[in-house]
Amino acid sequence: MPDMPTGQLIKLHRLECKKSTVALATHVGITVRYLEMIEAGTKTPALPTLKKIAKVLGVRIAALIGGAPSEDYKGEVNPWLAAVERALCTYRSISLSGREGPPDLSDVTARINSAWEAWFTSQNKYTDVLSVLPDLIVDAELAVNASGRSPEACRVASEVYQLSRPLLKILGRADLGPLVCDRAIRYAEETEDPVLIGAATWNIGQAMLSDGMHQGALDLSMIGAEKLEQSLSDGTLQHFSVYGGLLQVAAIAAVRKGDPWRARELLRGPARKAALRVGEGHNFHHIVFGPGNVGIHAVSVELEVGEFSEALRLADDVDITKVASIGRQTGHLYQVARCYDSRNNDTAVFIHLKMAEKICPQDFQHRQNVRSMVTTLVKRAKPSYASEIREFAAKVGMLD
């Protein structure tokens, strides 16, 4: 099942639930024809639509995009994921790592900084980070225990767990998100650093968005932003970056709750003001906040509500080369591709997918929503350019 396209997985679960296309389309709020096109693979559903379909069918979103739901997870899809699971069982009283002796804290700090750098800049970011993450988790926990939970060690541990969340999410283990997010903020709280606590709060907000907890993400991110706002008068660029990142989480949560105007106000008002203060090219606390990232979120808001023309208009003003994260760059290109997909403009979809592949080819191995777009393109490509699309699909490992 994980290798099946999204449309086929939707049809499979619909039949298992004994629902007709009419019943499912009615409960989701889309036309029967649109649902039939999704199931046939000629349309790629937007994320809000996919979430509604999953909710009506009573399954996790992961079950519809080729990822294994947590309750059905059988283990070693990737041996490094099994190593991460073992590493997460490292406590003061028990450990599966079998390692003895405390690590050098400065060495662990340097390694986590290198891992963060790889996550934001390496074309092989998934393998680069996943190969070192298990040891980083174990050593961070050992360092915390050996130091008597010193602020320096707790800061490193928080950083390790903040890095773990996005990687585990993309690799199909979003079920581990609550665990690593909870550890990240608890260690951040022990440092008593309000900016690090704010960054860990941003991390939780992202996890809640992924799990459909939009009200919780909105409340949490706004509380976090309000706490940081009190110190902005003499705050550093790090303060403004984390504050702005929390507002961006709140904006996405608001639009997914059905309040796009609040989302727009947050981005056009305080978030944009903070972004202009920070400037481009920075990545304080790994949030990549700046004017370009605010622009990317503005496109996200319009895409969420189906305003594809406005999303494309806003996308024209985003210069992704100034955004200090290849993940944000490719994410923006996938958003634009989805806008063109809504217009059946396969040429434009293909162009943006090719641009993304040049930036991060490993996305096409691990991001199921991206693989679904490629599958859709292959199925509906016109004869004049079908061979080129099939060649691209073969290049990214989706066709023999």
pLDDT means per 10 residues in the chain (400 residues)? Answer: 72 86 86 88 82 85 62 49 90 78 91 96 94 95 94 97 94 88 97 97 94 92 96 94 98 94 97 97 96 97 93 96 96 95 91 96 90 88 91 88
How many residues belong to the chain? 400
Q: Is residue 346, in this structure, part of any structural domain at all?
A: no
Expressed as residue numbers, the domain containing 10 is 1-73
* Residues 115, 128 share a domain: yes
What's the confidence (pLDDT) of residue 66?
61
| Residue 28, domain CATH | 1.10.260.40
Q: At what angle do helices 105-121 and 151-170 cross, to 10 degrees?
A: 30
Shared domain for 199 and 317, answered yes or no, is yes
Is 343 contained in some domain?
no
Domain stop point among 324, 345, 366: 324
**Domain end marker among 324, 350, 376:** 324
pLDDT attached to residue 25 = 87
Asked if the structure places residue 340 within a domain, the reply is no
Q: Verify that 203 and 304 share a domain, yes or no.
A: yes
Dist CA 303 CA 248 (whole Å): 15
Query: Both 51 and 143 in a single domain?
Result: no
**What is the pTM assigned to this prediction?**
0.82
Q: 365 in a domain, yes or no?
A: no
Residues 287 and 222 in one domain: yes
159 and 170 fall within a common domain: yes
pLDDT of residue 362: 93
Question: 137 lies in a domain?
Answer: yes
Judge contact between 105 and 148, C-beta under 8 A. Answer: no
Residue 44, pLDDT score = 80
Q: Are 69 and 60 in contact (CB under 8 A)?
A: yes
128-152 per-residue burial string, b: 16 or more CB within 10 A, e: under 16 = bbbebbbbbbbbbbbbbbeeeeeee
pLDDT at 255: 94
- Both 28 and 85 in one domain: the answer is no
Does residue 107 fall inside a structural domain? Answer: yes
Domain at 221, CATH number: 1.25.40
Kindly state whether residues 83 and 67 are assigned to the same domain: no
